[in-house]
Structure 1
């Protein structure tokens, strides 16, 4: 069985193509990083596929870590895997991040995986010598995370050293096998699992990022970058964060393949925070979709990205731009009105909702020569 495995759940990005019959990776890549997973993942997957000598037609299933980990990182990996699975009709297998880290250690000894969860806590899971999970993943305090560990247990994970010191125990040791998930090592776990529904993120706590008292300040200096067809997976990851029903990478590939289509992202400190997809025909254009990652919403990011793109379109000779927005989406309408758009018509019962249909408002803006 050939498995494409990927991970972005913690402070690294990794991908691998593994042949479980040969019991070895055909190609693998790993890079430690605190941020930038969304930009790194697609090229890394393309790289390992190319080096393996296979393409997605030869892949039997996809394995992806589901957390616990960073909220953004978990969503990026899952969105990528889901989009790829849907587009290529491949089963996607979710592997919890602590089981993925446990796969690093080959020594026959009990294992305690502990990953930093901040605020004096860790994500913890215990495994026996055969790597059967005995408990977790769960949140434990650093001081008591090793209370149930039997003598001779190896500690592994980003919080292993801290937990070991806090325990004061001399009968425990820190594994040297590596404290972060590595796609090439956990891929084989997916071969033993039965495919089912698309995996969901495993969140054990609420996000740390919360609005500051008095509200978040306006976004600082943003940079803008065009995204071409290979960036469809990045756009799918961002869209999945911004909207409840995310579009797949295959959908973005189709849209980017349309004549006149162009995508752009806004970056803050090098991290993608918003996206915009437009399509141009002669001297008119339309906005297909625009979105902002939840952690940076209400900071003027979408407004700046929209203004940047409108200026560029005007410079390319576009004189008029249109968009459609749900009649009940007052927040989006406010954004567009602030950018100079006006209502130009309606499409009755345009959007299909769970409880019926909703009108679409057509908005238009004239661009200066």
Structure 2
């Protein structure tokens, strides 16, 4: 087994390789505006670090978000392209699950990432492997009572200390954590959801209202 993992749902552009037992190479770079520029060089870097060729990959793991439209689709389209070219399966993993898996927290906790617009993408976990509901997007003040008293990880938690006073690392997801979680789920024979994006809201770019159609004379 050789899993190639990617995630672009947060400002971190991250890639990793996992051989079924351990992470053999990983890289992450935080740059919210350059996902498209940085992802393929990141893949090249982990392959070079591991001394492997892309053809050795037997499966692709991709973070499905939730995340902003523009960044998230970079990873998903790239993963789908690799899967098609290599003829290997593409496994979707919720980005928040990857953050939870990397957290050093005992007992129930929350994962929250920055959704911009003064909102967070978030979900509650019973432990590092068990999410208790579907991811959501809300203003921190609106969920304060629901997350009160719980530790929280992720950039969204760090941004809003009034709602998440016990905020902890990691700030962004790592492909290494996604790969390790996916390898664990594959070994257990668990099914994966389709690698479809969790946008949770409409994209920022909209067709202007009262758009004037110009036709040739």
- TM superposition score normalised by structure 1: 0.52
CA distance, structure 1, for counterparts of residue 6 and residue 145 of structure 2: 32
Of structures 1 and 2, the one scoring higher in RCO (CA 8 A, sep 6+) is 2
Tell me which moved more, 33-42 or 142-151.
142-151
Please give the residue correspondences for 1:262-281 in structure 2 after superposition, counting only pairs within 5 Å.
none
Residue 210, structure 1, aligned to residue 202, structure 2: no
The match for 1:45 is: 43
SS in 2 for 1:126: strand
Q: Deviations over 1:223-273 (max 9, x none)?
A: xxxxxxxxxxxxxxxxxxxxxxxxxxxxxxxxxxxxxxxxxxxxxxxxxxx
RMSD between aligned residues: 2.6
Residues 163-210 of structure 1, C-alpha deviations (whole Å, 9 max, x = no match): 43136xxxx5111x2211110122122220546685111110001223
Structure 1 residue ranges without an equivalent (≥5): 216-297, 299-330, 338-369
Secondary structure in structure 2 of the residue aligned to 1:135: coil
Q: CA deviation at 1:97?
A: 1.6
Q: Alignment partner for residue 112 of structure 2, among 97, 114, 117?
A: 114
Superposed counterparts of 1:140-159, under 5 Å? 140-149=138-147, 151=149, 153-159=150-156
CA contact 1:63–1:94 (8 Å) conserved in 2:
yes
Separation in structure 1 between the aligned mates of residue 193 and residue 158 of structure 2, nearest angstrom = 36
- Which structure's residues are more often strand, by fraction? 1
CA distance in structure 2 between the partners assigned to 1:122 and 1:106 by the alignment: 21
1:293-308 matches, cutoff 5 A = none
Which structure would you say has the larger Rg? 1
TM-score w.r.t. length of structure 2: 0.86
| Structure 2 residue 157 is the aligned partner of structure 1 residue 160 | yes
Determine the C-alpha separation between the residues in 2 that align with 1:84 and 1:70: 22
Shift of 1:150: 6.2
Q: Is the deviation greater in 82-91 or in 34-43?
A: 34-43
CA distance in 2, matches of 1:9, 1:157: 12
